[in-house]
Amino acid sequence: MSTASVEVVYRGIFQKTMAKNICRGVVLAARKEGKIGIAFGRYSDSPERNGIPAKQFAVVSDSEEELEEHLSRYEPDNNDVTIVADDTLCKGVESWAWYGLQPINKLLGDGGTLVVTSTQSANKLIKTIHRKGSPYDLAIVKAAASFSGLWVYKDDHTDVRLLGALAKVAPHIVSLDSITKAISEQWKDESKVASAMKAYDMVESTPVGADQGSDAEPFSFSMPGWTKMEEGLVIRGIDQKPQEVPGWDGGYVPSRNPTFKKFSTRTMRPVINFDTCTKCTLCWLSCPDTCFDITPDGFYDANMEACCGCGVCEAVCPVAECVTMVNEEAFEDNDSQWEMWTKDTAGYAAWLTEKIADKPTRSHGFHHVGQYAEEIADESR
Amino acid sequence: MSPAKATAVKRVEATGGPSGETEELISGSEAIAHVCRLADVDVITAYPIRPYDTVMQCVSQMISNGDFDCEFIVAESEHSQFEIVKHASAVGARVFCGSSGVGWFYAFEALAVTAGLRLPMVAMVGNRALDDPGAFGVEHNDALAVRDLGWMLAWVSTAQEALDTALIAYRVAEDPRVFLPCAISCDGAFLTHSQAIVNVPSQEMVDGFLPPYDRAEKQLHPDNPITIAPQANEDWLMEMRRQNDMAARRARDVIIEAYEDFGAKFGRGGEPFIERYMMEDAEVALVGMGTLAMPVKVAVRKMREQGKKVGFTRVRWFRPFPTQELQDALGGTKAVAVIDRDYSFGSTFYSGTLTNELRSALYPLESRPKIVSTIAGLGGREVTADNVIEIAGMAFDVAEGGDVSEEDTYWIGVRE
Amino acid sequence: MAEADVQNLEDFLATQVLDPWKGPKKVPAEEYFTSGHRTCQGCESAQLMKLMAKAGGPRSIVLGATGCMYVANTTYYSTPWQIPWMHTQLGSTGSAATGTAAGLRALMRKGKMKKEPINVIAVCGDGGGVDMGLSAISAALQHTQYNLLILLYDNESYANTDIQVSGSSPYGANTTFSTPGKARRIMHRRWKKNTAAMLAAGHPECKYVATVCTAYPVEAMNSVRKALSIGGPTFIHSLDPCPKGWDYDPKYSHELGEIAVETGIWPLYEVEDGKLKMYGRSKRIVSGQFKRRPVREYLERQGRFAHFTDEDIEFFQAKTDEMWEKWLLPGVIPFAEA
């Protein structure tokens, strides 16, 4: 193989610097082997938005001529490795750059490797990933998703650990030796080199069969051509009539845009304790995504097709633990919590307790000056 | 085809044209202001810059005299001036606007989006040299700058033609097959600050020619809650541009229809797109736009008296560009001399824009005339009949294989 | 003729009567801005759009200048709007509102469109409103014959184009055009423009100018309703915490708005028919019933100020103190009496 490409799928803004470090690291390491390459972000993802899935790429070739065909492309589509910087992206990504939900392994070439940072088991992750139809490997770097900000980077070595893992799963792109040399030159920090080497040793690969994975059909949108599009740059607005949902008479479910759902942005979702809810309206009133449906009995039910998991509802709720943000990986569907609660109040209470208890820490980025240094100290302890 | 002779002997009837018209001594700007009144334009925005502002002075006076009713807004810049009417047009209002020179350029962003949004604004450009040094006189570079954007562009040579073209412009621009803006170029000074006898039609005549503006399902209104111009990237741009390309193509037939109907109802209007003057047996043709027509026609008559087979083809519409008409009119000649009242520094053979477009239009012809590229009359400098005779002489020279080069551009009437 | 004309003009100044909602539980269910937008998690400007659409109701037209609320908020086939919306150019907020209002008025006046009061709302970010579009907004506020609202959603940078400094960015903020470096820590040395007060002071015929913050949603909606009811051109300036450009966890969007008000950095006031009314915490700051929180509590929560030294924070505090202790009208109009 004379040209190889690495795709990095990450959370916009929060992981932008990390993705850039990885892609640059690949190209600079490949350079040590006399190869030539480019690192780039998918142009249509930019300007990035917080949490919205985005991509960056590294393409390396043996010669400039071989590289040329990649120099004017937005998105390589037959990647040797797809790095997934946050395991909640495994459910599929809906980004700026296309319409519909793209399975996380869609642009991974046959026999390629999906490298995911996760604290979950391979078997659990595979269940959330769409079935590819051809075999590939799943490699897990044991780590929580590293979210930092735009201006303050959380340098917890996740970037170099992923580079170390890459050298293990795809030595034909870059060797560990080249990776460590590049890291050493770039950061002048031997502890980062050590982190990369450790990840090289620790990364575990699992073969994934062609038929393994989720059989859910990713939602899609078929783009009309110019004879079907309205002229004058006109599109129809969203229907002003609320949706008619069986069992919701007397409630209010606003009509929503069917082409962009935004839920793949979510890394945490609010779970609501309807037993303690006082119907104060603040979650509903403060949601920037208009995601709360009003139930027939006057509760506010976060619609999981529209919620992007910002956490404002939890922050504004005046009742302790009435709204709790829980790791998105704990959920397998986007079903209504209120419907679940009305069907089986006791069952819902048990479900709620379990979801809240099983709550691996997830961060949304910057909280205060000095925070990342404290977190890194905690993590290394 | 209009017979060359008939055009040559045309006289303005003392009693005006068809019954219902009145005769007025007015400028081209004032003639267009009358169209605003007769078309019952809803929103007009003004901002001062010479020389187009004469149209707005007239509009303002008509409103204050109670002759005309519209929302008349004096904006705080040309950018706002064009943006205001752009948005008024989107809610279904008939609009009028205009500018000159760098004022037109200050509005450039608005000009681009107006065409992109398919809003049928009609604007007057009082053609003026670009700054610096702030000359007031005519150059065509201002209006020509929007030639790639979807604007329809007409150049007129008389105040009467300004009036007639403005009426036709509303009809074409607001045709749902087109929905593109149209600018009518009037040479600064000669049309904006000079008065001539003009037949002004009656309201009934105009109502019989110009239907109301109906934006239908594209109208921005609470009864039609649409989203207009949401942001789009490479997934959609080609399709959107292609739609506008088709609209610009369709404009051609709509213009032809409009001239036919205008001719039937008003008894004038002439051939759409171009005017042919003594072209029937012409071996050498002069080509130009706007008020250049006057000295050119004088020169053509003088040369005809000397037995020279020379004619004149005036480009009336630059967008859509009359490719077929020009091929037809000029295909049989031996040489064409183009008089550009504009420049395109560093372009092919250093020609002006009209020459470059024309050269491209004639390229597919099996037997192509030779082309002499000239630039004259910049900044409003007078182009005299003698200048034109000199230019025609160059065309005869090139036709006979003389020293004049097809691969250069000649500046006429410039001091060395 | 003249008198009839005047009467005619008066008729067309009628507005919708939008009474204030007395508390969050009185806010109606109907939404006119839902989903489809691709804004950041915790985007307070999207939240403001939702509140604005709700407050204005179905007989409204919205014009959106280039900015996040265009590029991220309203994309092809991904519109969140249930009410008519149209893009306008970055510097055209005032012109878009004026043109739309003028078009409607002309058509209704001439009997070409059914006569009814339709809300015209034009929105812009700080790039569109505080920088490029200021001139057109000023002009729009002079045309008292048109009913329109200009709503400025201020997230304190050109966040849409990747966070560049604007005339509304706070002193010292890290943006992609004012990134602190080895030689210079503070690249952005301009003090934030006092936009709402400038427009109120400069346009005495404008009946309503207000500042709002999305952290107080009912107040923000009622401000929009008042602006649309009062007649003529009106202006509202909203401070919208921006998790992307300010660099903070999106869940704090609401809280940072509150802190901005409580530190005195963002004063809440209305200028209605020429009368200034402070409201909320800002009113209590002026009356001495609420002690301003130190600006440090605001600055240290945001990555854009993470490079600040104590000296920078003290400078910021001193400038903020000046607003409340030295200004002619505290928090609103600068200059003291000579």
CATH code, domain carrying C279:
3.40.50.970
What mean pLDDT is predicted for residues C42-46? 97
Q: Give chain B's radius of gyration (CA, Å).
A: 21
Whether residue C106 and residue B229 make contact (CB cut-off 8 A), yes or no, is: no
- Residues of A whose CB is below 8 A from B232: 233
Which residue among B69, B220, B225 places its CB closest to the CB of C82? B225
Report whether pLDDT(C224) > 70. yes
Share of chain C above pLDDT 90, in %: 94
Same fold: B3-266 with B274-411? yes
Three-state SS for B205-271 is HHHHHCCCCCCHHHCCECCECEEECCECCCCCHHHHHHHHHHHHHHHHHHHHHHHHHHHHHHCCCCC
| pLDDT of A135 | 97
| pLDDT of C8 | 59
Please give the Cα distance from B66 to B43 (Å, whole number): 16
| Residue of A363, A308, A327 whose CA lies nearest to A147 | A363
Asked whether the bond before C204 is cis by omega within 30 degrees of 0, the reply is: no
Residue C332 lies in a domain: no
Q: Does the model's pTM come out above 0.80?
A: yes
Chain C closest CA to B68's CA: distance in Å? 12
Which pair of structure tokens corresponds to residue C320? 């903020």
Check if A377 contacts B (Cβ < 8 Å).
Answer: no
Residue type, B240: M
* Predicted confidence (pLDDT) per residue in C77-128, tens digit: 999 999 999 999 999 999 999 999 999 999 999 999 999 999 999 999 999 9
Residue C334 lies in a domain: no
Please give the Cα distance from A75 to A182 (Å, whole number): 25
pLDDT-based confidence at residue C337 (cuts at 50, 70, 90)? confident
Asked if B414 and B387 touch (Cβ cutoff 8 Å), the reply is: no
Please give the Cα distance from C279 to C259 (Å, whole number): 15
Task: Report the top-level CATH class of B3-266.
Answer: alpha beta
Report whether pLDDT(C1) > 50. no
Q: Which chains touch A (3 or more CB pairs under 8 A)?
A: B, C
Bridge pairing between strands A204-208 and A136-142: antiparallel
Distances in whole angstroms, Cα of residue B381 to Cα of each of A192, B70, B339, C319: 73, 37, 13, 59
Check if A318 contacts B (Cβ < 8 Å).
Answer: no
Domain residue limits, chain B: 3-266, 274-411
pLDDT-based confidence at residue C2 (cuts at 50, 70, 90)? low
Report whether pLDDT(C200) > 90. yes
- Residues of A whose CB is below 8 A from C78: 99, 257, 259-260
Domain residue limits, chain A: 3-208, 239-381
| Residue of B112, B104, B86 whose CA lies nearest to B49 | B104
Residue C330 lies in a domain: no
Please give the Cα distance from C47 to C64 (Å, whole number): 15
Asked if A36 and A61 touch (Cβ cutoff 8 Å), the reply is: yes
Going residue by residue through chain B, which has 416 residues, state the pLDDT in tens, using 9 for 90 and above: 333 333 333 444 444 455 789 999 999 999 999 999 999 999 999 999 999 999 999 999 999 999 999 999 999 999 999 999 999 999 999 999 999 999 999 999 999 999 999 999 999 999 999 999 999 999 999 999 999 999 999 999 999 999 999 999 999 999 999 999 999 999 999 999 999 999 999 999 999 999 999 999 999 999 999 999 999 999 999 999 999 999 999 999 999 999 999 999 999 999 999 999 999 999 999 999 999 999 999 999 999 999 999 999 999 999 999 999 999 999 999 999 999 999 999 999 999 999 999 999 999 999 999 999 999 999 999 999 999 999 999 999 999 999 999 999 999 999 99
Whether residue A13 and residue C40 make contact (CB cut-off 8 A), yes or no, is: yes
Q: Which domain holds residue C176?
A: 3-325
Please give the Cα distance from C87 to C64 (Å, whole number): 5
C residues 229-248 lying closer than 8 A (beta carbon) to A:
243-245, 247-248
Domain total in chain C:
1
Share of chain C above pLDDT 70, in %: 96
Phi and psi dihedrals of C184, rounded to 5?
A: -135, 125
Report whether pLDDT(C7) > 60. no
Phi and psi dihedrals of C117, rounded to 5?
A: -75, 125
Asked if B62 and B33 touch (Cβ cutoff 8 Å), the reply is: yes
Which residue among A151, A238, A310 places its CB closest to the CB of C251? A310
DSSP count for chain C of H helices, then E strands: 12, 8
Across chain C, mean pLDDT equals 95
Whether residue B117 and residue A223 make contact (CB cut-off 8 A), yes or no, is: no
Which residue among C36, C163, C252 places its CB closest to the CB of A238? C36
Chain B interface, mutation test: which of C92, C124, C161, most B Cβ atoms within 10 Å? C92
Please give the Cα distance from A105 to A130 (Å, whole number): 7
Question: Would the ipTM clear 0.85, i.e. be above it?
Answer: yes
Which residue among B40, B75, B225 places its CB closest to the CB of C83? B225
> What CATH number has the domain spanning A239-381?
3.30.70
C residues 145-204 lying closer than 8 A (beta carbon) to A:
159-163, 174
Which pair of structure tokens corresponds to residue A41? 């972000």
> What CATH number has the domain spanning B274-411?
3.40.50.920
Which residue among A48, A49, A365 places its CB closest to the CB of C249? A365
DSSP type of residue C131: I
Please give the Cα distance from A69 to C212 (Å, whole number): 52
- Residues of A whose CB is below 8 A from B246: 226
3-state helix, strand, coil in chain C (%, to 5): 40, 15, 45
Please give the Cα distance from B166 to B172 (Å, whole number): 10
Going residue by residue through chain A, which has 381 residues, state the pLDDT in tens, using 9 for 90 and above: 589 999 999 999 999 999 999 999 999 999 999 999 999 999 988 889 999 999 999 999 999 999 998 888 899 999 999 999 999 999 999 987 778 999 999 999 999 999 999 999 999 999 999 999 999 999 999 998 999 989 999 999 999 999 999 999 999 999 999 999 999 999 999 999 999 999 999 999 999 999 999 999 999 999 999 999 999 999 999 999 999 999 999 999 999 999 999 999 999 999 999 999 999 999 999 999 999 999 999 999 999 999 999 999 999 999 999 999 999 989 999 999 999 999 999 999 999 999 998 766 788 899 999 999 998 888 776
Element (H, E) at C52: helix C44-56
Task: Report the top-level CATH class of A3-208.
Answer: alpha beta
- Residues of A whose CB is below 8 A from B236: 223, 229
